Amino acid sequence: MNTAITEQAVSEKEFLFPNLENLFCDINIHEYQNVMYKAQESVVSFLEEAHKPFSGVSPKELRKQFENIDLNDPTQSYEEVFEEVRTLYTQHAIAFHHPKYVAHLNCPVVIPAIAAEMLISSINSSLDTWDQSAGGTLMEQKLIEWTCKEIGFERSSDGIFTSGGSQSNLMGMLLARDYYSIKYFNHNIKKNGLPENAHRFRVFVSEAAHFSIQKSASILGLGEQAVVKIKTDRSFRMNSILLEDAIQKEIENGNIPIAVVATAGTTDFGNIDPLTNIARIAKRYSLWFHVDAAYGCALLLTEKYRHLIQGIEHADSVTVDYHKSFFQPVSSSGFLVKDRNYFNLITHYADYLNPKDHDENEIPNQVNKSIQTTRRFDALKLWFTLRIIGKEGLGNYIERIIYTANEAATLLENDPHFELLNRSDLSALVFRYSADPFKTFDLSRINTFIKSQLYRHGNALVAGTKVNGQFYLKFTILNPLTTIEDIQSILTTIKQYGNEYIEVN
Ligand SMILES: *Cc1c(COP(=O)(O)O)cnc(C)c1O
């Protein structure tokens, strides 16, 4: 940069813009490096101090500390802010990297992806249009192509990075609704709103499907009533015979089946619906076939278990959550379609942003395929990850996790203190403490007590869920560092709390 400009900038900084040193730009490189180093130190302290997954702090205890903070009175000192953030946040943050965090679908993240985060937020490209991202758009497209290929889609396929599985599922339902309406009723929902018979549209899911499908139906004006839940079999997979019965019944009642959603890896059990059977039924009744592989996309990474999601390639659309199963920081997800023309259903051309003539001139504007406008370059994290660790390296993590989950299932099955509900295709196990020989206690109560004790002490975190109205505990194992010894030790703790409840009550 030329010195005259620098001097001008410096003098303006003194007289006009007292905070100019905080802007990310070439005159502040030193400040940038300095602060990033401090940020890194703060993360390192988090790693060094997180001896257990959670401090156990209660909202009440923590809320007190927020009372005297005046956001209109900046401290202006990084030392103070890092210290403040440590007491309010970092020291109580849930440590997903801790081997005894086995609660929700949160993975530990990989270092190359964190390196990418630094570039993503510093350079701050927005991936809506070519003129705001350039190479970023092409990198995203290449990662989408890669994902489509791993799914087994043909070259006609396409996709987009999204904020999460919920958004991807919403897009799947959106395309299903609009496609059906235009194809079978010659009614364009994008232009004209919902057709009169929209309240009769029906979408089929298993009772173990993610709630975001219902939410999507309600956002899309179909109402939650549009979602028909199909019972699962003993291993918590959609029963495809009951699916066909349900479709026929809805037709008999004058309703209009438009889509079926199969879950490849349910949130609670990690099991995969019979994709090939469901694909066949979807085809027979001309239904949109969406596969929610938010969790199960992990299996794309491993040759050993890839066969478990055979059939995913028949989908019209697929949800994958890289931030669930590819060890990516939030947010990083994908929505993939078999045929790129499906996106025409939602493309909107804005003169200022993505005028139609850009398409003719082959200028790629990703906003044409997204329901977001300004959009993070999350794809760069996956790029770094694949270039450094590779598919096989990530696949080894997944194989390790599945192995540990299998061992854990065996432990639970062989221990008379526990009742295990499922074997998992992935790594989620639903079980409960049930060592009550005289059946005098309410098992839901004991297990709720156990869960709250674990949370309060924070030495190990497990999740909870309800099955047939009963409360169960859940392990979601997503950390290749979690060993069977860790699981054993968590089970010992669970037994202690269980015994404690029985003794006291
Ligand atoms: C987590 C999950 C979702 C939602 O994904 P988010 O990224 O949390 O929005 C959807 N489907 C399944 C099966 C999930 O497990």
In which band, very low, low, confident or very high, does the pLDDT at 143 lie, cut at 50, 70 and 90?
very high
pLDDT in tens, 475-484: 999 999 999 9
**Å from CA of 267 to ligand 1 middle:** 7
In which band, very low, low, confident or very high, does the pLDDT at 6 lie, cut at 50, 70 and 90?
low
**Å from CA of 166 to ligand 1 middle:** 6
**Å from CA of 165 to ligand 1 middle:** 4
**Å from CA of 432 to ligand 1 middle:** 24
In which band, very low, low, confident or very high, does the pLDDT at 493 lie, cut at 50, 70 and 90?
very high
The pick from 291, 324, 427 for probing ligand 1's pocket by mutation, whose C-beta has the most ligand atoms within 8 angstroms, reads: 324
Sign, CA torsion 106/111/112/116: positive
Give dist(CA 259, CA 43) in Å, integer.
45
Closest approach atom of ligand 1 to CA 264: 13
Q: Are 180 and 203 in contact (CB under 8 A)?
A: no
For residue 299, the model assigns a pLDDT of: 98
Cα angle value 401/404/409 (rounded, 5°): 125
The pick from 219, 267, 372 for probing ligand 1's pocket by mutation, whose C-beta has the most ligand atoms within 8 angstroms, reads: 267
Give dist(CA 190, CA 262) in Å, integer.
26
In which band, very low, low, confident or very high, does the pLDDT at 349 lie, cut at 50, 70 and 90?
confident
Closest approach atom of ligand 1 to CA 321: 7
Give dist(CA 203, CA 260) in Å, integer.
6
Task: Considering only the C-alpha atoms of the chain, give the largest distance between any 2 of them, rounded to a whole number of Å.
Answer: 87
Cβ-based neighbours of 241, under 8 Å, separated by 6 or more: none
The pick from 169, 205, 212 for probing ligand 1's pocket by mutation, whose C-beta has the most ligand atoms within 8 angstroms, reads: 212
**Residue of the CA atom closest to atom 10 of ligand 1:** 165
Cβ-based neighbours of 424, under 8 Å, separated by 6 or more: 269, 270, 271, 405, 409
Residue type for position 472: Y
In which band, very low, low, confident or very high, does the pLDDT at 350 lie, cut at 50, 70 and 90?
confident
Distance in Å from the first CA to the final CA of the chain: 75
Closest approach atom of ligand 1 to CA 267: 15
The pick from 210, 372, 430 for probing ligand 1's pocket by mutation, whose C-beta has the most ligand atoms within 8 angstroms, reads: 210
3-state secondary structure of 336: strand
Closest approach atom of ligand 1 to CA 166: 9
Instruction: Reply yes or no on whether the pLDDT at 10 is more than 80.
Output: no
**Residue of the CA atom closest to atom 15 of ligand 1:** 267
**Residue of the CA atom closest to atom 3 of ligand 1:** 165
Measuring from each residue's beta carbon to the nearest atom of ligand 1, which residues come in under 6 Å? 105, 164-166, 169, 210, 212, 263, 267, 292, 294-295, 321, 324, 333
Domains by residue range for the chain, with CATH: 126-388 (3.40.640.10), 392-504 (3.90.1150.10)
Q: Are 369 and 343 in contact (CB under 8 A)?
A: yes
pLDDT in tens, 153-192: 999 999 999 999 999 999 999 999 999 999 999 999 999 9
Quote the distance between the C-alpha of residue 84 and its chain's center. 29
The pick from 214, 297, 318, 321 for probing ligand 1's pocket by mutation, whose C-beta has the most ligand atoms within 8 angstroms, reads: 321
For residue 176, the model assigns a pLDDT of: 98
Q: Give the DSSP H or E segment for 279.
A: helix 275-284
Closest approach atom of ligand 1 to CA 265: 13
Each as own residue / partner, the long-range contacts of residues 80-84 (CB below 8 Å, 24 or more positions apart, any chain) are 82/38, 82/39, 82/42
pLDDT in tens, 424-451: 999 999 999 998 777 788 999 999 999 9
pLDDT in tens, 400-419: 999 999 999 999 999 999 99
Give dist(CA 143, CA 501) in Å, integer.
51
Instruction: Reply yes or no on whether the pLDDT at 1 is more than 50.
Output: no
Give dist(CA 73, CA 63) in Å, integer.
19
